[in-house]
Every structure is written in C-alpha cells, then in structure tokens.
Amino acid sequence: MPHERPRTPSPVPGPTTHRLRLRQGLRRGKGQQRPSANDVHASRLYPHISVEQGDGGLRVSTRHPGDFQHGATDDQLTLHITNALSSALAYFNELDAQYPDAEPAAYNR
C-alpha cells in the first residue's frame, strides 16, 4: 500500500470570520511584473487581494470578508455574495487585460 499523507482538516471559520475566496493562477512570461494588489487596495475597498509565488506562476486570490456574528437575512447574504463575486471577477478581468498573454496555471491546492 503506498504511503498516504495524513489529511489536515480545513480550518473552520469562527463565528465572525466568514470569507469568500476566489483564486486564479497566472503563469508569468519573462519581463512581466507581479500584478499590484496595492494599486487596487488604494483605490477601492474590495476585493482584498493576495498575490503569492506558486509552482509555475503566481497565485492570485481575492476575499471579501463579512461579519455575520449575529446572523444575516437571505437578502443580506445574497448581496454579500453578489458583491464578492462581482468585485473579484472585475479584478480578474483587469488582470486578463493587463496580462493578455498570461496562461492559466493549474491550481492544485
């Protein structure tokens, strides 16, 4: 039987930590710079963006935190998810325009 790595349980968000994350990988060509999350953070509140060096390219992730400690209505959750998705997709569309030759990298996390 092959050696299996023990599975680490995924962290469970606490009562006030709920995040929606979208991730996209980019393979960088020579001479291209990292996409600047600071420029986005300086001009708008959301999405929160992380850029990490991964295997074979950059790993770009966005998150849209929300505080639901005291609950939320269906309409509030719908609005939160809609805003999170639209702001993340708008950022990824900007990346696509800024780096038209970038290839999607495999995401294997």
pTM of the model: 0.60
For each of the chain's 109 residues, which pLDDT tens digit applies? 444 544 444 444 444 444 444 455 555 444 344 557 777 777 777 788 888 777 767 778 888 888 888 889 999 999 999 999 998 888 888 888 887 777 766 555 5
Residue 108 placed within a domain: no
Specify the pLDDT at position 63: 85
Specify the pLDDT at position 35: 52
Residue 80 placed within a domain: yes
- Look at the block and give the residue holding tokens 């790595």: 5
Domain hosting residue 82, numbered range: 21-65+72-103
Residue 83 placed within a domain: yes
Residue 109 placed within a domain: no
Phi/psi at 53 (5° precision): -80, 125
Count of the separate structural domains present in the chain: 1
Pairwise CA distance, residues 80 & 104, whole Å:
27
Enumerate the β-bridge partners of residue 24.
60
